[in-house]
């Protein structure tokens, strides 16, 4: 009997491939038995939303550079986003991806497609922040806005603080492992490789 591994979409919002948010993503997904499609916001450098309003007339986006991303976003079984926090929000390339989700708002409220995406997808948010105080609340709120029309749910969040000075991933290894297990169990889509027989 064949078993199809779950399809997980991962999005990196940081500029450095060896940065803290990239390492958070590696640690979080290390034990997952899944198929991954990875999108690097800086590498892709998607165009920003221009409010051209074409998506009010037809389902989709007038700019075609994100067609592959949107196809994976709609087809995946789960989503994991890893990003640094810039000024309480996301870096510009990551914010461009979020803003381009306007097409789903338009599908819902102008084209009356309910829901624009039928498939439910659980989300994990992994953040790295230079300050000790940053809690990622604003970043999470921005994501929850798009989740309302894309059938997603934020299941868990991990925030690594104080990366400008003393913050280290080793300080939160236990939290990362616990949240990863929680995400896998709650999502009901991922098998942790350590649990495989």
User: Which pLDDT score is estimated for 3?
Assistant: 61
Spatial CB neighbours of 158, under 8 Å, sequence gap ≥ 6: 24, 28, 124, 125, 126, 127, 172, 175, 176, 179
Which of these ranges, 6-10, 53-57, 187-191, has the smallest mean pLDDT? 187-191
Domains and CATH numbers, the chain: 7-195 (3.40.50.360)
Nearest-angstrom CA–CA distance, 35 and 76: 10
- The predicted pLDDT at position 2 comes to 46
pLDDT at position 42: 97
Phi-psi bin for 10: left (phi > 0), alpha (psi -120 to 50), beta? beta
Determine what percent of the chain is predicted with pLDDT higher than 70: 92
Alpha-carbon distances of 142 from 99, 138, 167, rounded to whole Å: 10, 6, 25
Enter the DSSP assignment of 19: S
Query: 3-state DSSP call for residue 104?
Result: helix
Model-level pTM?
Answer: 0.91
pLDDT band at 195 (very low <50, low <70, confident <90, very high): very low
| 80, containing H or E segment | strand 78-84
Task: Give the span between the Cα atoms of 63 and 25, in whole angstroms.
Answer: 29
């Amino acid at each position: 009997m064949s078993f199809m591994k779950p399809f997980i979409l991962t999005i990196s919002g940081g500029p450095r491939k060896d940065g803290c948010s990239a390492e958070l993503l590696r640690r979080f997904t290390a034990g997952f038995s899944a198929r991954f499609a990875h999108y690097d916001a800086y590498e892709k450098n998607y165009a920003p939303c221009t409010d051209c309003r074409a998506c009010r007339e037809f389902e989709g986006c007038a700019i075609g550079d994100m067609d592959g991303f949107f196809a994976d976003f709609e087809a995946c079984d789960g989503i994991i986003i890893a990003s640094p926090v810039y000024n309480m929000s996301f870096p510009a390339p990551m914010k461009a991806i979020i803003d381009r989700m306007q097409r789903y708002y338009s599908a819902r409220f102008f084209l009356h497609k309910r829901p624009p995406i039928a498939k439910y997808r659980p989300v994990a948010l992994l953040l790295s922040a230079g300050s000790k105080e940053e809690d990622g609340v604003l970043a999470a709120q921005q994501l929850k806005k798009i989740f309302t029309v894309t059938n997603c749910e934020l299941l868990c969040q991990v925030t690594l603080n104080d990366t400008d000075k003393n913050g280290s991933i080793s300080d939160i290894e236990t939290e990362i492992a616990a949240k990863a297990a929680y995400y896998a169990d709650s999502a009901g889509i991922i098998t942790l490789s350590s649990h495989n027989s």
